[in-house]
Amino acid sequence: MLEDKNKSIFRSIIVGIAALLPLVIFLVTNEDILSVDFPILVGLIIQAYIGFSSFMLVQSYEPKEKNKVTLGYAIFWSALGICYLSGKSLLLPIALEITSFSTILIYSGTEYGKKQIESLGSLLLASGISALFLSAWVMLPDGDLVGVILLLIGVLIKSGFSGFHIWLPKVNEGGPSHALGSFAGVLEIFPLLLFYRYILPNQLDPLIYQVLFPLAALGIFFGGITSFFHKDPKISLAYSSIESLNFLWLCLIITGMFQFSVDTDLMNLSNSFRILFFISLFHHSFSKTFQLFSIGMVSRLINSNSSDEMKGIGRLLGISPLLLGAGTFSYAVLPGTIGFVSEATYFYLNARILDLPIGRSVFLLPSMIFIFFGIVLGGFTHIKLYMSMFLSKPSRNVKLLPFGESQKKWLYISLFSLALFIFLFPLLLPLFVQLPMLKPFADELLLRWFRSISIVSFISILLVSVFGLYDFWNRKKILTLRKQSWDCGGGYDGDELSVPSSVYSKPLRNSLGRYFVNRNGDSVVDYLMIKLLTLLFTFGTNFVSSTNQTKEEDISKYLAISSMFLIFIFSLLILGDFNG
């Protein structure tokens, strides 16, 4: 027993060093940590924090192959740290590929099946395509417009931007929870910080932002609405991540769109969304990671991919519902959480947009309805999962995988560390916006707003603390959690009346959900996109024989295709010479 404990501590130290060392190197060797390289600092701090939390879950989650998983995480955090530190060099795409391939070791604690292989394949495919574009950007000179566009495409693919997101749900479907939390909290935000560091300072063509803006708004709408109706909680959280990531892109797009404007109002708007980006980045990283850890652990216990079958399982973890609800409370925009700071500030900035003259705000106003709708349904996704999994009555005949006190301890440490940041950040918000990198972008009205919501958060946290103490006393008094019920009433202790998660989405299924999710629970939009890509990649098979034997008529088809592409290439060359 003592030997196992020593091994666990040793593994934690190895992974902790791998996650923390890049941050230490960056602090020692870089002099621009609070200026141009501030986004790199933010990414490395998040990596060090979530790296610790994720490995605590590994200690609770993985019953076997912990040595391989430990090695995988050591490589994963080290390589991702190199991605942050490498700058514009060939080390960046190489380290990114090493980061992706290390997930094979991270997945080794999970039995490989169809979903696990598809999960790994989707992650490696997205990383590989993104690395190709990043390699092209590295090889081109600084300031080259083509290089900037290639970098933009690479980060859009890797971050799950609207239209480039189809790999993300597949990754979530088969991956272990600790890995999915690491992907969502750290790996998926790396491209956004890369954009902030290397693309945002450049004055891009406004047309690029005008194209990206409605796509990001649609991504928020599509992600929120699909997550609300999906039946698999892991995939549901994947679409919620798509909604959150596109919201982060929206902040960056608005920042870039107006950062060089001569209009004072638009410049202030750009600066405000720049600060909102970092606040929302912390919200996504910590709140989403918490949700994937807690809900993923419930999924692990019952070994199911249906949210209805997980009804009440979270109550059997033996952890306070107040702690297990930290991520949900954040997405429900309850005061005192980082999600409240993020979403309330966005609503406040939209109120300021409405005060602008119609000519300046006309581009932003039409998208608000889609954005609000996606955010609201995305928040309700977390609420319905929490109320069903952690508050409803579990079935009497449910069969769970073993979950002992030692596993519970590691899970508690992991979730508590994340919840601590979720509730602590709103209190430190006035200090955060005083950092040298952010202070020049915060006007007096925005500073006053942050002080107000920080005070509201402080009062709310005091009230939650009172409820927490009462909950602790109540759990000591009533030891059997099965006798407590929130939704049955009348003293009835059966699970037949417990509320499954589909109860919340079914009323809107026929009127709204059928346009986005089919009867099997899969995304209609993603299905059409995959079908279109399949037709595109198999385009050549329509011109050649379906057998391996070449026919005479195939030769003319090959020549026709070659001629078309040759004429197209010559046209581009002539057009380029003409324009030059």
C-alpha dist (Å) from residue 404 to 369, 400, 431: 47, 11, 41
3-state secondary structure of 68: helix
> Between 190-198 and 233-258, two packed helices, what is the crossing angle to 10 degrees?
10
Q: At residue 517, what are phi and psi to the nearest 5 degrees?
A: -130, 130
Q: What are phi and psi of 523, to 5 degrees?
A: -70, 125
pLDDT at 579: 47
Tell me the C-alpha distance between 193 and 356, whole Å. 29
Distance, CA of 66 to CA of 409 (rounded, Å): 17
DSSP string, 329-389: HHHTT-TTSHHHHHHHHHHHHHHHHHTS-HHHHTTTGGGHHHHHHHHHHHHHHHHHHHIII
Local confidence pLDDT in tens for the 580 residues of the chain: 445 667 777 888 888 889 999 999 999 988 778 888 999 999 999 999 999 888 888 877 666 777 888 888 999 999 999 999 998 888 999 999 999 999 988 888 777 777 888 888 888 888 888 998 999 999 888 878 888 999 999 999 999 898 888 888 888 888 888 888 899 999 999 999 999 999 998 888 888 988 999 899 989 998 889 899 888 888 899 999 999 999 999 999 999 988 888 888 888 889 999 999 999 999 999 999 999 999 888 888 887 777 888 888 888 888 888 889 999 999 999 999 999 999 999 999 988 887 777 555 666 666 787 888 889 989 999 999 998 888 888 877 777 777 777 788 888 888 999 999 999 999 999 999 998 889 899 889 899 999 999 999 999 988 878 877 876 776 665 555 444 555 555 555 666 667 778 887 877 777 777 777 777 667 777 777 777 777 766 665 555 554 445 555 555 555 555 556 556 655 655 555 544 4
State the amino acid at position 107 in one-letter form. Y
The CA distances from residue 72 to 24, 47, 55, 175, 545, in Å, are 21, 15, 11, 14, 45
Q: What is the pTM of this model?
A: 0.88
Using an 8 Å Cβ cutoff, are 488 and 498 in contact?
yes
Beta bridge partners of 517: 523
Please tell me the predicted confidence (pLDDT) of residue 418. 94
Residue 68: exposed, middle, or buried by beta-carbon count in 10 A (0-12, 13-18, 19+)? middle
Place of tokens 């999710």: 517
User: pLDDT at position 432, please?
Assistant: 93
* Interatomic CA distance for residues 337 and 547, integer angstroms: 61
Domain definitions of the chain by residue range? 5-470
Which stretches of 199-232 are DSSP H helices? 206-229
Check: CB of residue 268 under 8 Å from CB of residue 443. yes
Is residue 189 within 8 A of residue 160, CB to CB? The reply is: no
DSSP state of 140: S
CA 328-478-459 angle, 5° bins: 40
CA distance 508 to 498: 20
Give pLDDT, residue 578.
44
